[in-house]
Amino acid sequence: MNTTLIRNGRVITATDDYVADVLMQDGIIHAIGKNMVVGEGVKVIDASGLYVLPGGVDTHVHLQNIIGPTVTCDTFASGTRAAAFGGTTTLVDFALQTAQDSPLEAIARAQRLADSQVNVDYSLHVIVTRVDAQVLADVRHAMRHEGVTSFKMFMAYPGVMMADDAAIFQMLRQVGADGGMVALHAENGTVIDLLIKEALEAGHASPRYHALTRPAILEGEATHRGIRLAELAEAQIYFVHVSSNQALKHIVTARAEGIPVFAETCPHYLLFDDSVYHSDEFEIAKYVMTPPLRTPDDQKHLWRALRYDDLQVIATDHCPFCMKEGHLGYQRQKMSGLHDFSKIPNGAPGIETRLTSLFDIGVMQGKLSLNRFVQLTSTTPAKLFGLFPKKGTIAVGSDADVVLFDPAATQVIHAEHLHSQCDYTLLEGRTLRGQVKKVFLRGELIVDGEQWLGREGMGRFVPRGTVQAF
Ligand SMILES: [Zn+2]
């Protein structure tokens, strides 16, 4: 039996902030108290001066995902190790329904790939690309018997991932009625594809045109359309990677109207703005993600929405591709778009720096309280995706997924020191205040400073319940 007492740390949840001892036993939080007396054989860790946080929950992660002609360059092994070093102990990745198979086959395939590799706990959203009666039956089965209660659909990428409005509506109606969540990638895909075609015909091939061909208004239009479909379906809905005020203003209005709309943003939209695209250097392919970075004014609106709960989640959309072709054997990564921006795989890394970067720019700059920081990165994602209170908080009976975080430490970020297989980080050379010191997964110490103590395969697939939004 593995029993550990974390002594004298400052326990911070979405609602609490107090100094106490936390006893972890049999993988769960067994007791919380003051000056607890423990017997022989109990490992005691002094956490004076450290925060005791619930393990991070990252609900938007792409590990080993096949995307077009390539694959994201973190495996379930490397990506979950990087997550752990960053203080994330549960993540939700994706299972892609291909043209040939069903959501159930997609789940089984992703589990076969992940189970032997994962270092932290995980679940899956199914990406539904095609809807018919059988698919709807399989979706219902997945919700009731597989513990998979969320489904992602794309309004972008026609001919690849895009689902039409009727398909999205059908999914919203059924999944919503069963208490699950449809997560939407909201961008008007067909108009974007036209703008890309026109840009390339005009000889505009450099990476900056990625951003210019995906204007915020097309994110706003699709967000509005998604909201109206959810309203008609009487379903809750979740928008991934909200980047712009064009999208946000529809979300704010809908919430005020009482429509159950939820949304996430990602650290990169808070850390960087579209000024990075003012270059014709291929280097800016690092910032080719979807949606693209927006203006400082959009950023201001994102912070406001985070403060007032119009945005409820900060997830990474960790979708790493290497800049150097052939790095660790990965082919057709960012360089494949050297002469055509539309061939640059969309995405950027971020799984390991989510908590520290948000602590630095959010908490330390006075934009987020500590409680709100925990709520956005752990508690609310756990609630919206049916993982709470097993995950997302520090409470008696919850999984002992615990992060010891040093608010006084500083670190300088370099890709070579991170644990992702990606050969760059958007935060290269940046100094961040705050550092993850120790990480426990179900009571087991897996990260101890620089030292890795976890094991591939020790992570578990976590069956999820329905949305706990209200
Ligand atoms: Zn994504």
Beta partners for 43? 4
Give the integer Cα–Cα distance in Å for 284 and 458. 37
pLDDT digits (tens, 9 = 90+) for 381-394: 999 999 999 999 99
Residue 113's Cβ-count burial label (10 Å; 0-12, 13-18, 19+) is: middle
pLDDT digits (tens, 9 = 90+) for 127-185: 999 999 999 999 999 999 999 999 999 999 999 999 999 999 999 999 999 999 999 99
Å from CA of 61 to ligand 1 middle: 6
Å from CA of 102 to ligand 1 middle: 21
C-alpha to C-alpha distances, 390 to 73, 382, 405, nearest whole angstrom: 30, 8, 21
CATH level 3 topology of 56-384: TIM Barrel (3.20.20)
pLDDT digits (tens, 9 = 90+) for 346-359: 999 999 999 999 99
**What per-residue confidence (pLDDT) applies to 68?**
87
Give the integer Cα–Cα distance in Å for 81 and 87. 10
Residue 201: pLDDT over 70: yes
Collapsing DSSP states into helix, strand and coil, what is residue 385? coil
Which residues are within 8 A (CB) of 207 and not within 5 positions of it... i.e. 6 or more apart? 277, 282, 284, 285, 287, 288, 337, 341, 344
Give the integer Cα–Cα distance in Å for 16 and 293. 34
Å from CA of 15 to ligand 1 middle: 29
Give the integer Cα–Cα distance in Å for 172 and 238. 11
The one-letter amino acid at 417: H
Do 167 and 130 touch, CB atoms closer than 8 A? yes
Residue 470: pLDDT over 80: no
Give the integer Cα–Cα distance in Å for 232 and 205. 41
Å from CA of 9 to ligand 1 middle: 35
* Region 14-21 average pLDDT: 98
Give the integer Cα–Cα distance in Å for 286 and 345. 10
* Region 404-418 average pLDDT: 98
* Region 193-199 average pLDDT: 98
pLDDT digits (tens, 9 = 90+) for 115-140: 999 999 999 999 999 999 999 999 99
C-alpha to C-alpha distances, 24 to 4, 19, 86, nearest whole angstrom: 5, 16, 21
Å from CA of 74 to ligand 1 middle: 14
Domains of the chain: which residue ranges?
A: 4-53+398-410+431-452, 56-384
Give the integer Cα–Cα distance in Å for 125 and 260. 19
- Taking the alpha carbons at both ends of the chain, their separation in whole angstroms is 37
- Do 56-384 and 4-53+398-410+431-452 fall under one CATH topology? no
Å from CA of 436 to ligand 1 middle: 25
Residue 314: pLDDT over 80: yes
Å from CA of 209 to ligand 1 middle: 20
Å from CA of 380 to ligand 1 middle: 18
| pTM exceeding 0.85 | yes
Collapsing DSSP states into helix, strand and coil, what is residue 192? helix
Q: Write down the CATH superfamily of domain 4-53+398-410+431-452.
A: Urease, subunit C, domain 1 (2.30.40.10)
Residue 1: pLDDT over 80: no
Counted residue by residue, the chain has a size of 470
Do 56 and 382 touch, CB atoms closer than 8 A? no
Å from CA of 93 to ligand 1 middle: 9
Please provide residue 224's backbone torsions phi and psi, each rounded to the nearest 5 degrees.
-60, -45
Å from CA of 60 to ligand 1 middle: 6
